[in-house]
Amino acid sequence: MHLLLVILFFLEAQFCVQSSDSNSPAGENLATNGLPFPWSKVRLPSYIVPVHYHLLIHPNLTTLRFNGSVKIEIDVKNNTNWVVLHSKNLKIFTATVLDEHEAHLSDKVLSVLEYPSHEQIAIFSPKILTSGEKYFLYLEFGAPLSDGFYGFYKSTYKTKAGETRVLASTHFEPTSARMALPCFDEPIFKANYTVRIRRGPSHIALSNMPLEQTVEIGNGLFEDQFEVSVRMSSYLLAFIVCDFRSVSGMTATGINITIYAVPEKWHQTHYALEAALRLLEFYEQYFNILYPLPKLDLIAIPDFQAGAMENWGLTTYRETSLLYDPDISSASDKLWVTMVIGHELAHQWFGNLVTMEWWNDIWLNEGFARYMEFVSLEAVYPELKVEDHFLDTCFGAIGRDSLNSSRPISSLAENPAQIEEMFDTVSYDKGACILHMLRNFLTNEGFQSGIIRYLHRFKYSNARNEDLWDSLIKTCSEEEFTAGEYCYSSTQATKNAYRFAGEHIDLKKMMYTWTLQKGIPLITVKRQGRKLYIGQERFLKIVLPDDPSWHSLQEGYLWHIPLTYKTSHSDYEMKHILTTKSDVLTLDEEVDWVKLNSDMNGYYIVHYDEEGWNALTELLRINHTALSFKDRASLIHNAFQLVTAGRLSLNRALDLIGYLKSETHNVPLLQGLGYLQSFYKMIEKRNIADITHNLKTYILQYFRDVIDKQSWSDDGMVSDRRLREEVLSLACDFDYPPCLEKAKHLYNSWVESNGAISLPTDVSETVYMVGAQDDSGWAYLLEKYGVSMCETEKSKFLSALASSKDSEKLSRLLQLGMDGTLIKTQNLPSLIYLVAKNPVGHFLAWDFVKKHWDELVEKFPLGSFGIRNIIVGTVTQFSSTEELREVGCSFVVLKGMIICFDGSFTALLFVLFV
Ligand code: BES
Ligand code: ZN
């Protein structure tokens, strides 16, 4: 029951806004010592503003504690005699207030009130702090280094010789700076930071800024003092004490870039250096603003909850997100490292230089950074073909956004758990997809000059959703406007109008329909002669037009949709903006087919009438290259989405993908394969041998040619290599004999050489999986897991180990993950997912989650990436009625699908085919 509540909380987070806090009068809330706490809101008062932090911090890597002091220069905007700021799990030893000459306002040590449920403390000043005057707040504090992944936390690694070493690192976003120092921990409070760190002689200290000087302070200790930072939000502060090795290089503009890793992984850092140098240079040009710090570090931390973090000047990464070993890592690993670096470096502008005012607009950071991964890699690494993956980003967003439980891109978030939940596919992926739609609408140049304007306007400051839309287009005179310039006219009549395909558009109004309203539109198209009858509605899974709740769920939903389409008679894109529920377009001539949403650059799904689908199915069959690979992939995607929404029959979708036998592009192939595989996975669990076998044969007939064509090597472009990785893994998973034989052969030679020969990196995971199926192979891989010095290799071993069909072995793995020594706790969520997707393991994983729920939540707090992956990883494997009942669903079976609602009938948990 407990778990169910959490799942529902997670899905319905947008309705659970805490309201009592902001309304209760001051004084009702009691501090830990029983005295009234002077502030009742979750957010800090705005009339005390931090200006400059002087921080001294000393982590002791033997006692695993840290002590620190902070002197904060504050600006007082209203007279007051108390200061409220954030602090979490810190012991405050002393607190004083100093005047502008740094004289104490009182001889007495001031009392500090603590209000843990808001993670706040209050300090009373003996004298009124007067508006307009300058003061300093001085606090001394200490705490154990945190055991998890937030605040100032402990991380460990093992050397080849078996020695365990400790380091201390920070992760603050969104609300954990307060675990390392008392501070004003909200993004709007930008300040300068001067950091000093104490350390022993065998360690180095790092922070956002370059080292200014080191002083020996006795007792074998050193104090490193760092240059004063630029103005930034508290969540971007970072410091690390470790014994890592590094490589450095300099950009053309003189920025010193350094990659750090544990000493024995030093040789895996070189690729990241090259990528960071090239990507930073790209961003400086693209944004037309130089990177403002003298240095940028990228460091691989052995224990890391997320994938990476953009701390200004000191970006931190999970080892798999930064380290690349050319002999062991695969093509996908390389792409991943490059994308993560592209993402974190984009944040140095989007997020660090310009920050959202509050977490409700976190998409301004994350949506942009996700989108810039694609823009930057396309420009800097065209050979990686990153554009092949962009559609997957939008497909992921659509998966979530077509459920009623989705949320608008900008939505309310007040307390830390709600804030943490904002880092989801809506902020990241939907954010990126609507930016892509906007860029296609404004043209690349228009988009780029718009965001340059935005960055200049808000640098070192904060912005909201509307500020972005206001900055995107320059204002111009009526004459310029009439002459067709891309600009807003400043005259009243056409104010905020923007010219698009000859029409005048209000861009802000248009973008509000995408950011303030949840969901994704479905465009319906009926063709009669030269007329196209177009309609828009909200695309929803589960609720069909004949359902009583249909109308209320549609009510009020309307988007301004930039439509594009191609026809059999036009090889260029036609454009039209749809701002009403329905519209009629007239084509120049009669055509054989129409395909809307060219290259799926727009964030909407398209449903054609019977003839429309027939014409496109026929076109794919006869001449599929008449459509771009993105158009082909999006047709497959749209068709299957419509199937899961009960709007198109499964047979129609299967007809559409019938052409895949002649498809050679990896994107549509993998799209089709993905849907077929998800059917297979569901059937496989039902243990009906003949159906499983028939389905396997059915799927293999589509892909046998592609499989047979593959070489077991690393040859070819990244896209060829990714296709090889996927189809060979599928072939062996389906027990396709030629695949098993080849994999077994490679596995044996690898074992015989005791791991000395290197396997082709793209197929190594498949080879290990085949090897892990017997006792000795499994034991050998576990042993290799324990000694490998390459995290990407280890993740392939782990995935092979978790594919064993022996449930005892799977239980042992989960136990090892819980224990956290051989398998690090950071890898537990993905291990649980790996076990859950194994047909033998899915109950096991679920039982494990239920049994260890309390411990799991302790390791991965509610709202965190970790716990969300654990929940989603296990429950999405469910498809039988018993399983759905297990997670407390009330469900209905409708038109060949199982549909699962939560108790309140507002959120859909699953839609599954039966
Ligand atoms: N700013 C985030 C890190 C973060 C995530 C902080 C969640 C707080 C909560 C960082 O820029 C990010 O987006 N990291 C991604 C990496 C990815 C984009 C490649 C992550 O951790 O998954
Ligand atoms: Zn990010």
pLDDT in tens, 750-789: 999 998 898 999 999 999 999 999 999 999 999 999 999 9
Task: State the distance from the centre of ligand 1 to the C-alpha of 366, rounded, in angstroms.
Answer: 8
Q: Ligand 1, closest atom to CA 343? A: 18
Give the pLDDT confidence score for residue 501 in this predicted structure.
Answer: 52
CB 419 near ligand 1, within 6 Å: no
Task: State the distance from the centre of ligand 1 to the C-alpha of 608, rounded, in angstroms.
Answer: 38
Of the candidates 380, 390, 347, the one whose C-alpha atom is nearest the C-alpha of residue 365 is 347
Q: What are phi and psi of 110, to 5 degrees?
A: -80, 150
pLDDT tens digit sequence for 207-233:
999 999 999 999 999 999 999 999 999
Pocket test for ligand 1, best of 153, 170, 173, 179 (most atoms within 8 A of CB): 173
CB 366 near ligand 1, within 6 Å: yes
Q: Atom 3, ligand 1: which residue's CA is nearest?
A: 309
Task: State the distance from the centre of ligand 2 to the C-alpha of 172, rounded, in angstroms.
Answer: 13
Q: Atom 16, ligand 1: which residue's CA is nearest?
A: 307
CB 344 near ligand 1, within 6 Å: yes
Cα–Cα distance measured from residue 350 to residue 544, given in angstroms and rounded to the nearest whole number: 40
Q: Ligand 1, closest atom to CA 318? A: 21
Q: Ligand 1, closest atom to CA 321? A: 19
Task: State the distance from the centre of ligand 1 to the C-alpha of 78, rounded, in angstroms.
Answer: 37
CB 310 near ligand 1, within 6 Å: yes
Cα dihedral 41, 47, 52, 55, rounded to 10, equals: -30
Q: Atom 6, ligand 1: which residue's CA is nearest?
A: 173
Give the pLDDT confidence score for residue 901 in this predicted structure.
Answer: 46
Q: What angle do helix axes 737-752 and 764-771 make, rounded to 10 degrees?
A: 90
CB 174 near ligand 1, within 6 Å: yes
CB 446 near ligand 1, within 6 Å: no
Sheet with strand 594-596: strands edge to edge? 570-578, 561-567, 594-596
Cα–Cα distance measured from residue 259 to residue 282, given in angstroms and rounded to the nearest whole number: 18
CB 902 near ligand 1, within 6 Å: no
Q: Which of 73, 344, 373, 726 is catalytic?
A: 344
Q: Ligand 1, closest atom to CA 306? A: 21
Report residue 234 as tokens.
């508290």
Q: What angle do helix axes 842-851 and 828-837 make, rounded to 10 degrees?
A: 140
Would residue 119 show up in a list of annotated catalytic residues for this protein? Answer: no
Q: What is the DSSP letter of 228?
A: P
Task: State the distance from the centre of ligand 2 to the C-alpha of 311, rounded, in angstroms.
Answer: 10
Give the pLDDT confidence score for residue 7 in this predicted structure.
Answer: 31
Report residue 183 as tokens.
């501070």
905: left (phi over 0), alpha (psi -120 to 50) or beta: left
Among the ranges 173-177, 486-490, 574-578, 715-719, which has the highest mean pLDDT value? Answer: 173-177
Q: Ligand 1, closest atom to CA 351? A: 1
Q: Closest-lying ligand to the alpha carbon of 311?
A: 1
Q: Are 802 and 831 in contact, with CB atoms under 8 Å apart?
A: yes
pLDDT tens digit sequence for 418-453:
999 899 999 999 999 999 999 998 889 889 999 999
Residue numbering of the annotated binding site for Zn(2+): 343, 347, 366
385: left (phi over 0), alpha (psi -120 to 50) or beta: left
Place of tokens 């995107």: 472
- Other beta carbons within 10 angstroms of residue 263's beta carbon come to 15
Task: State the distance from the centre of ligand 1 to the C-alpha of 625, rounded, in angstroms.
Answer: 37
Give the pLDDT confidence score for residue 490 in this predicted structure.
Answer: 59
Q: Atom 20, ligand 1: which residue's CA is nearest?
A: 307
Which DSSP helix (H) or strand (E) runs through 586?
strand 582-586
pLDDT tens digit sequence for 647-693:
998 889 999 999 999 999 999 999 999 988 888 887 887 777 788 88
3-state helix, strand and coil shares in percent for the chain, rounded to the nearest 5:
45, 25, 35
Q: What is the DSSP letter of 426?
A: I
Cross-strand pairs, 248: 258
Give the pLDDT confidence score for residue 908 in this predicted structure.
Answer: 43
CB 421 near ligand 1, within 6 Å: no
Q: Is 233 exposed, middle or buried (0-12, 13-18, 19+ CB in 10 A)?
A: buried
Question: Which of the four pLDDT bands, split at 50, 70 and 90, describes residue 580?
Answer: very high
Pairing of strands 461-463, 204-207: unpaired
